[in-house]
Amino acid sequence: MQSLAEDSDGRLWVGSIGGVEYFDGRRFTDFTQRLGLRIGDSDFYDIHQTRDGAMWFATNKGLLSYKDGAVTKFTSQNGLPSNDVKVIHETPDGGLWFGTLGGLAKFDGERFAVFDEKNGLAGNHIRAIHEDAQGLLWVGTYDSGLSLLRDGKFTRFTTADGLFSTGVFAVMPDDSGNFWMSSNQGIYRVSREQLIEFADGKRRTIPSDAFGKSDGMLNPECNGGRQPAAIRTENGRLWFPTQDGVAIVSPETIAVNSLPPPVVIEAVRLEDRTLHDFRSGVELTPGQDRLEIDYTGLSFIKPEQIRFRYKLEGLDENWTEANGRRTAYFSYLPPGNYTFRVTAANSDNIWNERGAAFSFVVLPPFYRTWWFTLFILMSVIAATYIAFRYRVAQFHARHIQQQDFLRRLIESQEQERKRIAAELHDSLGQTLLVIKNRAFMGARAIANGGAAGRQLEAANEQFDEISAAAAEAINEAREISYHLRPSQLERLGLTTSIKEMIEHVAGTSGIHFDYDIAPLDGVFSPESEINFYRIAQESLNNVIKHSGASKVNVSIRHDNRGVELTIRDDGKGFEPTPTCVDGSSITGFGLTSIAERARLLGGSHVVESTPGRGTTITVSIPPEP
């Protein structure tokens, strides 16, 4: 037998494996073939007559409806979530709900609306459907817990929330506002009000009271998936089928155990080593990470149903629901002072609020102690101070170098003024003085001798000398002007000007020059051209004045990386010293000027020199933006 039902005519319908029949008080009549089925073809799990008189049959091959001699069959092709239908429920407004192995279905007379785990249902294997007095629908599953359908949304309740079992084969209300539910583990009781509070977020757990062999059940394993899985009689008693007969519950006679169970901490293990004197205090040193605490509740009434919760003060703000577990595990704890507290509730949900506790300390590693933190702080302060002093010293040294550079620049300007003054006095001044004296002598000769031939000839000689001296003075003025500002840059361009400068130096110094000059016209701006020209000019002047070379090679290369000037001589060389403000190795103010001009152009220079092996100056200038 799989199902029982009574229709409006008082007939008892019996569903079984392979068929269905009814008993009219005198005899049984098979109804299987009337439904268009062969005997033995289908299993009947639930039978229900609706208000309109139609008979509905839930089978493992689909859903059957019989009314006025007509049979209608519904399967997954008509919208059912599964052909294996377990339970039928009719709502007060005439709506029909069906529980299947594939989920929940609602039938509006034309089509099915399906609800499953994707919609929030606890599980798809439906075993029970109950509608309470407030119209809320409660759905029980085989092994996934209980679901509440309210305002179109599901709330799920499982053992993680406090239920005794995930099996809900039947949901039966009593007169005290409790639900009695059956499962493979036994029968348990839950407060409907507390379920609603959990759904509203007003509580975190759902206490449940379980009943089994210790309460008189011959076998705690109940039957489900066949209807009815439980019934309530007129006197309020609840009948549940089990593997060893029927269990009858009288809810009003169930005594409540009001004595909370005493709680005891039995043992503490640290790194798998049992601590026998833990009550006097425990210290966990760095590296000891595994702490286990065993506790129990003392009760002779259903001790297996005692539930526990614990909290580690100093780390946890909320209680951890341990249910029936009697050991707490902590794999890692940060340094600090802790107190472990554990409380317990008996089978009737009466809590021992005092519980049991013990305190312990987790010592920090040396790098997390206050003195190590202070040491690190002082070290950081010291390092910061040293770095600050170092930077100040760097700025001071840079300032001294800049002052030295300015001083030498001023000295150079003064030397340049002296040189120009000397050249003007010694060359151009002397030439002009000669012109003056010649002119005076010529004028006096004319005044004393009149126009006599010999005196006129002497005067003409003086004027010829004046013309020659004037020409020499003009050349000297041009030479001085050339050194101050090479006019050929505007006239001839940078490339030709550098070539002429090299040929002029070669002609006046007696040194053999080889040169390879790439086209440079248009590469630099006018301001940059004069700086690059002066770099080349100063480099050649250094070669003439200091190198003692017989052969010099000048190379200027230009590509997408910029311009590179290389001047290599075979002279006596020198020992470079780091005195340039940009950190370059230089000797003398001439090289300082080269370094500064290279820096102004955004480039750099390198001086390579070895005594007796000559000198190489390389100046690299990047492309102008």
Domain that holds residue 247: 150-254
Q: What is the mean pLDDT of the segment spanning 563-581?
A: 78
pLDDT in tens, 277-288: 777 778 888 878
Residue 395 lies in a domain: yes
Q: What is the mean pLDDT of the segment spanning 160-183?
A: 93
Are 279 and 200 contained in the same domain?
A: no
Identify the pLDDT of residue 477.
62
Residue 137 lies in a domain: no
pLDDT in tens, 204-251: 888 888 888 888 889 999 998 899 999 999 999 999 999 999 999 999
Enumerate residues 6+ apart whose C-beta is below 8 A from 346: 257, 259, 260, 261, 297, 299, 301, 302, 305, 306
Residue 141 lies in a domain: no
| Tally of domains in the chain | 5
Q: Which two tokens stand for residue 261?
A: 């169970």
Domain boundary (254, 280, 304) is at 254
Are 344 and 447 contained in the same domain?
A: no
Q: What is the mean pLDDT of the segment spanning 399-421?
A: 65
pLDDT(451) > 60: no
pLDDT in tens, 350-409: 889 899 998 999 888 777 677 778 888 999 999 999 999 999 999 888 888 776 766 666
Residue 121 lies in a domain: no
Whole-angstrom CA distances from 216 to 119, 220, 350 are 40, 9, 22
Identify the pLDDT of residue 580.
41
Identify the pLDDT of residue 481.
55
Are 549 and 574 contained in the same domain?
A: yes
- Rounded Cα distance between 362 and 340, Å, is 13
Domain boundary (434, 468, 484) is at 484
Find the largest Cα–Cα distance for the chain. 186
Residue 475 lies in a domain: yes
Top pLDDT among 582 and 173 is at 173
Q: What is the mean pLDDT of the segment spanning 91-117?
A: 93
Look at the pTM and tell me if it is higher than 0.75.
no
Residue 128 lies in a domain: no
Residue 67 lies in a domain: yes
Residue 145 lies in a domain: no
CB 291 within 8 A of CB 269: yes
Identify the pLDDT of residue 414.
53
- Rounded Cα distance between 598 and 408, Å, is 18
Domain boundary (329, 350, 365) is at 365
Are 435 and 459 contained in the same domain?
A: yes
User: Across the chain, what does the average pLDDT equal?
Assistant: 85
Residue 157, classed as helix, strand or coil, is strand
* Percent over 70 (pLDDT), the chain: 84
Enumerate residues 6+ apart whose C-beta is below 8 A from 307: 162, 207, 321, 322, 323, 324, 344, 345, 349
Identify the pLDDT of residue 3.
94
User: H or E stretch including 68?
Assistant: none
Confidence of residue 583 (pLDDT cuts 50, 70, 90): very low
Are 42 and 92 contained in the same domain?
A: yes
pLDDT(473) > 80: no
CATH number of the domain to which 506 belongs: 3.30.565.10
CB 156 within 8 A of CB 147: yes
pLDDT(197) > 90: yes
